[in-house]
Amino acid sequence: MNAVMNAAMKTTTLGPSGIECSAIGLGTWAMGGWMWGGQDSAGATEAIHASLDAGVTLIDTAPAYGLGASECIVGAALQGRRHEAVIATKCGLVWHTQKGTHFFDEDGHPVYRHLGRESIFHEAEESLKRLQTDYIDLYITHWQDSTTPVEETMDALLTLKRQGKIRAIGVSNVDPETLAEYLRYGPVDAAQERYSLIDREIEQTLLPLCQRHNVAVLGYSSLALGLLAGPIDPAREFTGDDQRASNPRFSAANRARLKAFFDELEPVRQPLGCSFGQLMIAWTLARGSVSVALCGARVRPQAIENAAAGALDLPEEAVQRIDEAAARHLQALA
């Protein structure tokens, strides 16, 4: 597993912005605790520092991750190291107003999808405070708001950019038609979408548009909530508010399918000197569909392992064998 630890991290550019960042990004949803069985600020801080030390520069967070908790952890962890990081955070999931449409409740607070102009300005200021910084590198609309014209949303983002409070504009959980509407009003630097070996829908839907307009693609859930990190002990239980407890993908039958899949890939993994998780992350980059693979981590060893995948070069034969094994074993998971 040490063969990939000392190689150089791949880098990429976030669309028209020209911002350079690592090809592996640290996702911090789990650090906020919500839907992940609680939080550990000390462990999260160590994971952030370990990521930076390993060459990961893109740190992805959002206000909705623990109602500001994740942003606060990131902001505190980056004190003295802000210059090493490219911070991506988001707007559009709000609890300070009941405008827009109700999306879910988090810790007793109703959260709404809302991307109105004044709301975005309010959110940006709150995020800047929590992150303890005077600028955000990449500001992303987290989920889309059917009650606000895209023109209004984009005007607010472009205003923040002119003010120097954000450097680049991104969208997330967006369909091609809505992305095209954003592009009518200005450059979009990145689209953040779910992408993994078992979540490949964007290859046929959003990716062609992104490629035509030089929109970088950030793939989240690269390990499918940990499903692709390696064989899962059949006896393991997910407790509390951990979303995996009720996720059918983590069923006993699927765990058996995963074991067969990983068993088949052992001859691919072993010569590369990597873990199964690193193999899956490297696959997402090797396919060429995403510019950045976002990988969640809550503890130092996890962060170090994920980061090392950014230096792993997969031979074309390995990519093909992974695709073939997935077709045989994982169709039921998709």
Which structural domain, as residue segments, surrounds residue 100?
11-229+278-314
CATH number at residue 30: 3.20.20.100
Total H helices, total E strands in the chain: 10, 13
Q: Is residue 331 part of a domain?
A: no
User: In the prediction, which pLDDT does 259 show?
Assistant: 93
Number of domains, the chain: 1
Q: Is residue 247 part of a domain?
A: no
Q: Which of 45-49, 92-96, 107-111, 138-142 has the lowest mean pLDDT?
A: 107-111
Mean of pLDDT values over 223-238? 80
Mean of pLDDT values over 149-159? 98
Q: Which of 94-103, 169-178, 233-242 has the lowest mean pLDDT?
A: 233-242
Q: Is residue 262 part of a domain?
A: no
Q: Is residue 180 part of a domain?
A: yes
Going by C-alpha positions, the residue among 92, 150, 99, 143 that lies closest to residue 121 is 92
| CA 74/CA 60 separation, integer angstroms | 9
User: In the prediction, which pLDDT does 73 show?
Assistant: 96
Q: Is residue 240 part of a domain?
A: no
pTM of the model: 0.93
Q: Is residue 22 part of a domain?
A: yes
Q: Catalytic site residue 135?
A: no
**What is the H or E stretch that residue 24 is in?**
strand 24-27
Q: What is the pLDDT of residues 81-105, one digit of tens each?
A: 999 999 999 999 999 999 999 999 9
Task: Please say if the pLDDT value at position 1 is more than 50.
Answer: no
